[in-house]
Amino acid sequence: MSEYLSPLWVSLKTVITTMVITVVLGVAAARWMARYHGKLTPLLDGFFILPLVLPPTVVGLILLLTLGKHGPIGQLLSPLGMNVVFSWPATVISATVVSFPLMYMTAKSAFELVDTNIEDAGRTLGAEITLGEAP
């Protein structure tokens, strides 16, 4: 019976791990980008949503070229005896890359709706706002 449930456990483990990573990275990046107003804003914003606008086969090819045996990350991991491609971490990485733009865009639009005057008033009353605070 356990051999029939194995794919279910792998899927659940992948989904939960991907969700945690995507929420943490997506909210952190969105908070930072909602307050960052530099020259690189459009470039960074475009980079963060790039997996959403590229076809899935192109995203997969980029991941294979990056994480593969001859890619930059693959070459760093090769002396350690680690291979990411066609493993469980590869499923988490690919699912995170594909789902990150959705979390990022949603969280960024929510952070942009927060009135900065309320944050400033909170600071005057002693609140500490440290996550992604603009300089």
pLDDT digits (tens, 9 = 90+) for 90-111: 999 999 999 999 999 999 999 9
C-alpha 14/C-alpha 28 separation (Å) is 21
Residue 3 in domain: no
120 in any annotated domain: no
Could you tell me if 56 and 97 are in contact, meaning their C-beta atoms sit under 8 angstroms apart? no
Domain count, the chain: 1
82 band by pLDDT with thresholds 50, 70 and 90? confident
- Please report whether residue 56 resides in a domain: yes
pTM for this model (two decimals) = 0.80
Expressed as residue numbers, the domain containing 28 is 20-106
Strand ranges (E), 54-98? none
